[in-house]
Chains A and B, each alone.
Chain A
């Protein structure tokens, strides 16, 4: 009896591992097809971000920053992934301006959704920066905030 139980338990764990492994490398979708990622990212943007950052990415003067002509948006991906995951209430000047709204954290978005929306932003309104992959999002998600 004991043995059988042990074996079953093991195989279930093994199965879970396989499932987890199958699930993890979905970044391929985004990496291989940036156009599809941008398209999906646009939908995420419209639902989650557009109200504050506006349809043209221009933001709202003194309230929400623009996502074009921004050093950070086309800069270090880790930084902007963290902004989406954990929000931003730093009140530090962004490209010389202060913005008084709070950017809410969006941990409920999946790695793929965050990768998509940032890939979309980094390819829109004159921005021409590299894609963001779900693996890169996961890497930041895994790091605890200091």
Chain B
């Protein structure tokens, strides 16, 4: 058993919090905590020097999470627990926690803290709760509605949010379609031209963070051509938004004349995009092939598995990963606990594939993507593995845990949520 002594030095300066997802409490505190990693590192395989513990288990169907400057955790559940969808986990000095409060009568995925508010998403709305000086929720039964009326047509219905430092909130609206076919997911069905889904979904919309009851007309479509984003994060170093796209499914099932089952298992790439106002990331017209390093024309739009897209309207990804691994969250590490190489790099939670047969399924891990000067630099590596509890995952249901959300604690620990069993993990570095 390893002991991780993390000296938590929280200064009164708000500036030091600006970078962490935990918001900006101005309360000064200084604690010395001895956090003990679980004997089996919570079942995770980690690089040497790292340890992990299970902070809590059975915390609903834990989608995204956010850690307060006090070290407590708010979890958004996609299933109601006793009628409630937000669970507050209070964490004690040894790092173990339990649910002390639950509120919010809606299911959903996104949750984050910013400027004294807890923002939480249902599949149609974004709510916020005022926080007190200890980041406890004040109006648990009366949240304010920030955004309402967002499209939810069952597919890719999850909403998640990121906030910048200029008073804006960005919300993903997933496409209610696989590849904008006339008949969704049907063999040989053509793509609609232009794709009508993109008017109200398949992108990122930008709203004001502190204006209430906004809907489509009050916001702007910030980035389009994104089939389904679940993980998005405002990068405070580049001052820009990074998103992870889930690529389309069923190249082989719907287009066997162009793809075999192996190509369809590996393609298309799961992509990281750095998006700006007006970005178009290509869906449904193109997809990315990381094996060739090229944008390809989608088979629904005249592609044949070989036709490269040279259309400059469509942005290239910042980085690309093997197909179907389902990146459900991204976080830029700004803490001081982990070794220098992790600073300003990206952690990505891959929920794990269901769509890579006949190959084994892949993902079910947290990846580290090194960054240099605000750009991905060097190969990605698996940072935390073993969530599935299986050597080989052949069927999604057999995975014990599935990483879904990421948050950075005030001491620089990395928290990971699992939406299969509701486990909250905390990953620490020994300081050596």
Contact = CB atoms under 8 A, between A and B. Distances in A.
Nearest to A58: B397
A89 to B, nearest CB: 7
Contacts, number: 63
Contact of B398 (A50, A58, A106): A58
Contacts of A75: none
Contacts of A60: 354, 396-397
Contact of B397 (A47, A50, A56, A100): A56
Q: Is the interface of B mostly helix, strand, loop or mixed?
A: loop
Interface stretch (B32-40, B178-186, B233-241, B294-302): B178-186
Interface in B162-215: 178, 183-187
Interface residues of A, number: 27
Contacts of A61: 396-397, 420
Contacts of A59: 396-397
Contacts of A39: none
A63 B355 CA distance: 12
Contacts of B154: 89, 91, 100-102
A104 B155 contact: no
Interface string B350-363: 00001101000000
Given A89-B154, A100-B155, A102-B184, A50 B420 contact: no
B78 interface: yes
A47 B260 CA distance: 11
B249 A51 contact: yes
B265 to A, nearest CB: 9
Contacts of B183: 104-105
A104 B184 contact: yes
Q: Is the interface of A mostly helix, strand, loop or mixed?
A: loop
Contacts of A102: 154-155, 178, 184-185
A51 B250 contact: yes
Interface in B67-110: 78
A101 B155 CA distance: 5
Contacts of B155: 100-102
B394 interface: yes
Contacts of A100: 154-157
Interface string A100-140: 11111110100000000000000000000000000000000
A55 interface: yes
Interface in B351-409: 354-355, 357, 394-398
8 contacts: A54-B354, A61-B397, A61-B420, A62-B78, A100-B155, A102-B184, A104-B183, A105-B186
Interface of B: 78, 154-157, 178, 183-187, 249-250, 253, 256, 354-355, 357, 394-398, 420
Given A54-B397, A58-B396, A91-B154, 13 more contacts: A48-B253, A51-B355, A54-B354, A54-B396, A56-B394, A59-B396, A61-B396, A61-B397, A66-B397, A101-B155, A102-B154, A102-B184, A104-B184
Interface of A: 47-48, 50-52, 54-56, 58-64, 66, 87, 89, 91, 100-106, 108
